[in-house]
Amino acid sequence: MTVTAARHRRKLAGLVMLPVAALALGACAPKPAPPPPPPPTVSCTVGGTLSEAVEACHTNYRAYNLDTANNGAEATVARILAAITPTSCSSALASFHSSGATLMGYYPAASSGSENLYCMYFSNGQCPSAALGATKAMNGWLASPGHKANMDSILSLWVNAAAGCVPTASGGSGVYIAVAQFHT
């Protein structure tokens, strides 16, 4: 064998070894983490008013206590928000949350409180059914880590929930608002 042929064989052997080494290194790479599980979902098949459906849907999700002695603050908030945002749901809706002081004023005996707001725009001029509105609101909150945290907090022993809807007489657009207030 000539010197040139021997060099050529060593080069070929080196080329063959590289892909094998790369393949072996690739086999040792860590597996990617599995995707996170999807958020839980609920189906609210309860009847009644818009507000009763949102409240019942909460108690189907978790064994909250219903604060039946409340002053209707959550229903007032829902009605006010539905009336002031009649044509669309805006990301500015967050600026309409009750302040901490206002929320604690609604529940003077409470030591903590939180609030979830949900807005659904509809273009057919009709309010959604109570069950559909409650289902959409609950699943929207469950898919949002911050809203779900309010719902799952050990400090959220009591819930008051309500909904308001402003349809348009002309059959145009309208807005559905759901509010849930939690407190200890």
> Which tens digit of pLDDT belongs to each residue from 25-48?
445 567 888 887 777 888 888 778
With beta carbons less than 8 A apart as the criterion, state whether 141 and 119 touch: no
* List of residues 6+ apart from 46 with CB closer than 8 A: 52, 53, 56, 57, 60, 130, 131, 134
- Of the given ranges (48-62, 79-93, 111-125), which has the lowest mean pLDDT? 79-93
* Boundaries of every domain in the chain: 50-183
Q: What is the pLDDT of residues 130-171, one digit of tens each?
A: 999 999 999 999 999 999 999 998 777 888 888 988 876 666
- For the whole model, what pTM was predicted? 0.74
Query: What residues pair up with 115 in beta bridges, in sequence order?
Result: 181
C-alpha separations of 33 from 25, 30, 145 in Å: 19, 9, 20
Percentage of residues of the chain with pLDDT beyond 70 = 76
Q: How many CB atoms lie within 10 A of CB 86?
A: 14
| Unique residue bearing structure tokens 């308001």 | 164
Tell me which CATH homologous superfamily contains domain 50-183. CAP (3.40.33.10)
Output the CA angle 81-159-63, nearest 5 degrees: 140
